[in-house]
Structures are given as structure tokens and as C-alpha cells.
Amino acid sequence: MNDQDTPSKKSKKRQVYGVINSKYYAIDNSKTSIQALKQAASYDSFEKREKIFDENRTALMTLIRYLLYTYSFGFGLQAYLYLTICRDSNKGVMKVCHGFLDDARHLENHFFWLTEVKILDRIEKSLPGELANIEVFLVSTMDSLEFVEQLSKVKDECALDFRGSDVHKYIFLLVKQKKSIVVFKLLYLEVIC
């Protein structure tokens, strides 16, 4: 058996959890697909742009995956870095695939295609639990009497003034969490230095 007869060794692709890997790793570099994606911004209506994106999802995913790997540092920050760096980059999605970020529904539809999960439904189901975790965290770490009284007052306001809606409490918790994270970072820096 010579070198031409030996099967080439395929590199193992990394498992990407939460997505359909066959769609994530699919490649479409055809000129017609890329050209169609570039022309999407010329349409004003969501429906016309979405038709182009829907017909060229694999090519769109190829572009997005290229951008993810271009800016990935491997610390689990891929999506954050991608959104942060590509926002101002010449190679961001809005530059490579014009019109994709003009309407949030494009991103939602692409996410559904890639995961077969409706993101808004998932957020709606998981958000109250995540906010409850924030409340437990803050109660366990911020044991000052002032915080406990403020939280109690906010819960009373939710029950009496807002007809049982917890939105006011959630906003209060998110603001307090942001402040506590800043304090923890400062304490951490003091300990290290």
C-alpha cells in the first residue's frame, strides 16, 4: 500500500454542547451563498432578509464559526469575546453578513435552526430560577441589617403596590448583585496584591 492508498487521518472535531454539531460544523463556502448573504442588507423588510438567511443557513454558520474561532481564546468566553470584539471589528457579523443583526428575530431564528430550542421560551422558564439564585446568594453574602430591611420592604411593595409582581424585586436584586460583584472584585484584588 502506498501513500495514496492510505486513508487520511481525520481530525476529531470538538464536541460543542447545546447545538446540533452536524449543523455547527457544516461548511458552505459557495460563491452564490456568500453573495446572497452580502446582498441581504439591501432589503428593508425582515421577511425578505430572513428568506435569504434561511436559504443560506449553512453558509451563515460557516461565517459565524470562522469569526468565533478567529477571536476565541479558549477560556469559555467565546460568545462574550465574539460579541465584544466583533462589535467594533471589520470582520464582525454585521460587516461580513450585512443585515443579520438589523432585527433580533434573525438571530432568534438562527439559534432555533442551530439548537432546535426556542430561546425566548427557555429564558422565560429559567429566568425566575436564576433570579431566585441571585436572591439566595445576596442574602447569604450580604448579612447587613440594612440589606435585610431593604429586601423586606421591596417584597412588601411587590405584594401591595405591584399586585404580586416580582419585577420590582428582580430589579432590586440585579442592582444589588452588580454592586456586590464590584465589592467582591475589589476585595479579591486587595487579597492578591
Q: Write the pLDDT tens digit of every residue in 27-76.
A: 888 889 888 888 888 898 999 999 999 999 999 888 887 776 554 444 44
Span 90-143, pLDDT tens digits: 555 556 677 888 888 888 898 899 899 888 888 888 888 888 888 888 888 887
More confidently predicted of 181 and 53: 53
Cβ–Cβ under 8 Å, residues 93 and 86: yes
pLDDT band of residue 11 (cuts 50, 70, 90) is low
Q: Is the pLDDT of residue 191 over 80?
A: no
Helix%, strand%, coil% for the chain, nearest 5: 70, 0, 30
Structure confidence at residue 49 (pLDDT): 93
Domain ranges within the chain, ordered by starting residue = 21-117, 122-192
CB-based burial, 63-75: b 16+ in 10 Å, e otherwise: bbeebbeebeeee
Report yes or no: 27 and 58 within 8 Å, Cβ to Cβ.
yes
Q: What is the pTM of this model?
A: 0.60
